Structure 1
Amino acid sequence: MALLTVAVCAVLAGATSFAAIADWLYDLDEPDQARLGFTRGVPAGTTMWRLLTRLDAGVLSAVLAGWLRSRTPSAPIRPRRYRTVIAVDGKTLRGARLPEGRQVHLLSALDTSTGIVLAQVTVEAKSNEIPAFTPLLAAVEKVLGSLTGILFVADAMHTQTDHAEQITSRGAHLLLQAKGNQPTLHAQLKTLPWAQIPVGDRTRDRGHGRKETRTVKAVTLHTPGGIAFPHAQQAARIIRTRTVDGNTSRETTYLVTSLTAPDAQPSDLQKWARAEWLIENQVHNVRDITFREDLHQARTGTGPAVMATLRNTAIGWHRINGDTNIARANRRADRRSRDLIDAVTSRYTSTQ
């Protein structure tokens, strides 16, 4: 337990490798080492490596997600149609190339309201993200206790009938894109009478030389079985028009949701559809840029997944404490190691 606490603290302070985790422990003064449980010296770096490459990555992810949730402040008053939105996305660890040449690929689920990665599973060799979705869903349910009312958003790869059945059977909802991997569904959505449907919501963003307009239309699917996707209650079309340096591009996206119109207005669908990108922008990119994940060549045992989980934990910790610049938060934690140890090891009553 002491070594795992060290690993969590070290990555919260910006450690990017097994060696850096061991160095962080070595660099502490003796009183701080003693507070972590090391009163007769510290273990060798190889001991830390052996532990972190043999841990059950799934169990570790669940334990640390639960630990973060227990330390998340109570949410303020929420709007009437507030809904917990979980974004699902995969990431390849490009530096973790196994002996047979395969790279480790992980599928994760992010609570977009807190910034906590609730679950992460390793995609099996010679497979893809689709079979990993059900284990991920089960892992999220284990952490939360129930999925009732929760909305899952994901890219078009996960617009699968089995996924829809798995989600709705647990009392949850879906908002999924329709693209070429579901040609019948995509064709049906594309030929809906969009010209006759009024605009439901329009947003305009401007910044960094870019202008973007997003226009949403939504329609209730009245005919049961009329759309080639189970539990689809509404269809939505989002047109994004972007102008950068005088060049304008236009992108059209079609989506289906299991939520009815009273529970999901076009403005809600707009917001929730954009939430899908949060796992890429707020987690995966931070792991790459701040923690240099793609340069880390750990490949033994569960080491790659364990290190990714520790990075997820660091990002989630800093976000629930109000930080948006994770690199700066890492540096501050490293400068204040005593405060960091106090915060991580202190008892805390759950507010969730």
Structure 2
Amino acid sequence: MTPSRSPAAEHTCCYRRKGNQPTLHAQLKTLPWAQIPVGDRTHDHGHGRKETRTINAVTLHTPDGIAFPKAQQAARITRTRTIDSKTSRETAYLATSLTAADAQPAELQKWARAEWLIENQIHNVRDVTFREDLHQARTDTGPAVIATLRNTAIGWHHINGDTNIARANRRADRRSHDLITTVTSSHPRMQ
């Protein structure tokens, strides 16, 4: 089941090891994080790993001071993960147009995790299984139409209880008549 988008999704911009917004990333990274107290910390254990997530959040006092329009807060989320005594650390930065009164650090951290879950469940499938980044549709409504078809296929497979979308696609390729029958039948049956 895919989580719904967070209430702050349209007001938040998250960056995690991505080069798509280098100016904003550089601006967020250079904020005085060492001087900003930890706003929230969570601990998770399971599947042979331990994770600790901390978030520092700061109100931005300089309008248009960073490359995210109307930014009110910036946050840094640090995830420390230990698996079999090997520790790794990942840092993500985000900017939001929500004020501290509207979004406390714990909420920002929860929303960021929900966005990353969507990234892993939907966008990763689209990128890896459907090779979306390699697709050549780049003009007019082509990209939106293809994305809608991919999302429909993912949803179709999820409705049918499939968790391995690549395997479900291979099966659907071999049995395309099942989908056609289901779509055209007045009494559809699932695969």
For the superposition of Structure 1 and Structure 2, which TM-score range results when normalised by the shorter chain?
0.5 to 0.7
Verify the 8 A CA contact 1:185 1:227 in the aligned structure 2: no
Q: 2:153 aligns to what SS in structure 1?
A: helix
Q: Aligned pair 1:153/2:153, yes or no?
A: no
Change (3 A) 1:249 1:326: closer
AA in 1 matched with 2:151: N
Distance (Å, rounded) in 1 between the aligned partners of 2:41 and 2:160: 29
1:210, CA displacement in angstroms?
Answer: 1.9
Match of 1:293 among 117, 127, 130: 130
Question: Equivalent residues in 2 for 1:1-352 (5 A)?
Answer: 83=7, 85=9, 150-155=10-15, 157-159=19-21, 178-179=24-25, 182=26, 184-187=27-30, 189-191=31-33, 193-194=35-36, 197=37, 199-221=38-60, 223-225=61-63, 227-229=65-67, 230-287=69-126, 292-294=129-131, 305=143, 307-319=146-158, 321=159, 323=161, 325=163, 327=165, 337=179, 338-342=181-185
1:285, CA displacement in angstroms?
Answer: 3.0
1:258, CA displacement in angstroms?
Answer: 1.1
Distance (Å, rounded) in 1 between the aligned partners of 2:20 and 2:136: 27
Distance (Å, rounded) in 1 between the aligned partners of 2:86 and 2:135: 42
**Percentage identity across aligned positions?**
51
Aligned length: 171
Verify the 8 A CA contact 2:74 2:93 in the aligned structure 1: yes
Verify the 8 A CA contact 1:242 1:248 in the aligned structure 2: yes
State the Cα deviation string for residues 174-196 of structure 1 (Å, max 9, x = none).
xxxx53xx3x4432x135622xx
Which is higher, the Rg of structure 1 or of structure 2?
1
State the Cα deviation string for residues 113-138 of structure 1 (Å, max 9, x = none).
xxxxxxxxxxxxxxxxxxxxxxxxxx
Distance (Å, rounded) in 2 between the aligned partners of 1:298 and 1:224: 40
Distance (Å, rounded) in 2 between the aligned partners of 1:231 and 1:300: 32
Distance (Å, rounded) in 2 between the aligned partners of 1:261 and 1:298: 40
Distance (Å, rounded) in 1 between the aligned partners of 2:76 and 2:135: 42
1:325, CA displacement in angstroms?
Answer: 1.6
Q: Which runs of 5+ in 1 are unaligned?
A: 1-74, 76-81, 86-149, 162-177, 346-352
State the Cα deviation string for residues 293-343 of structure 1 (Å, max 9, x = none).
34xx986998x9555542222114455x48562537765996854444448
Please give the TM-score of this superposition, normalised by the length of structure 2: 0.63
Q: 1:314 aligns to what SS in structure 2?
A: helix
Change (3 A) 1:264 1:311: same
With CA pairs under 8 Å and 6+ residues apart, which has the higher RCO, 1 or 2? 1
Verify the 8 A CA contact 2:28 2:74 in the aligned structure 1: no
Distance (Å, rounded) in 2 between the aligned partners of 1:324 and 1:207: 24
Q: Which runs of 5+ in 2 are unaligned?
A: none
AA in 1 matched with 2:41: R
Distance (Å, rounded) in 2 between the aligned partners of 1:228 and 1:300: 32
Change (3 A) 1:323 1:267: farther
Verify the 8 A CA contact 1:153 1:273 in the aligned structure 2: no
Distance (Å, rounded) in 2 between the aligned partners of 1:299 and 1:191: 41
Change (3 A) 1:239 1:323: same
Change (3 A) 1:322 1:84: farther
Please give the TM-score of this superposition, normalised by the length of structure 1: 0.38
1:270, CA displacement in angstroms?
Answer: 0.7
Verify the 8 A CA contact 1:205 1:212 in the aligned structure 2: yes
Change (3 A) 1:203 1:342: farther
